[in-house]
Structure 1
């Protein structure tokens, strides 16, 4: 069970759970999951902040981007279920997947660099196998911090705000955008941010082209 940052470096690692267990079950049993549920900031998450270009003034928690296998919570967002989905939710799922692909790329790059991961680890001792995985993850971070180019391309929303307009079928949904939730939960935050992605200064042009039906 791991998380990574935008530079494909692991930020938290937990090794030792059975591969047959579901992702949600592993999270619940892991220290990561327990720390997310407890009071106090055991994971050293950044302090709550306002969303970029959000005029509500609301303060939001930083959250982990997860897939459908994980539960939604105050520090974890997952996609909307695909059954009966509308265009607003499709856009949200697309934007969430753009962030989530970082962890898939991180695993792929690590597996391609360390041959020990391409076959079953040849150790009958579980503790030794876990130590090998820990070592690979740490070495991966060590190498990656020296590979990352200092220049990181950025996307300026304001430069592209007028390139593509909100599709007509989403105009009505945009007008019905909810106010800042008084009681912030994972579900209410997901609903609020899904409307936030429709705004001209927070949308990205190609989200309309590929993910609106």
Structure 2
């Protein structure tokens, strides 16, 4: 259980922060940037939830919880030392990825195939879900970049890759099952 008695600690005033294993790194490090963007994704999901209803509310709540798991995973380097840790680190699993895939497939069964790219927008929920999609894509890019220099859980990267696809399909569901999608018209304003 997490206990936060005091929100500010002053330990980051010099531009460093502690990772989950206690080591200190620059706040602009690739790892902190990656899990910070996962946190940013979570905040955008919170905004989307304000506009959601039905099953999407609970699905978005599960995603928010997963994103905290993902942040915990990314803030804990040294996966090879997991077995020796006093408290086993929280790691993303393929089960979480598979759940997203099943939800994506269920949404896809409802949607008609696209014949054009769509513009972010339509309903308020769809617009927020498109924002979730783009921020999660950035979190994925940053996590992939981190993986070029440090060890990153493969399931964490897979989750982020599926998540942006989930948001895309969910945005279409939010637009009257795709009927109210805003279609891109190439060269329309020339």
Q: TM-score range by the shorter chain?
A: under 0.3
- Higher helix proportion, which one? 2
For normalisation by structure 1, the TM-score amounts to 0.24
For normalisation by structure 2, the TM-score amounts to 0.25
Highest RCO, 1 vs 2 (Cα 8 Å, sep ≥ 6): 2
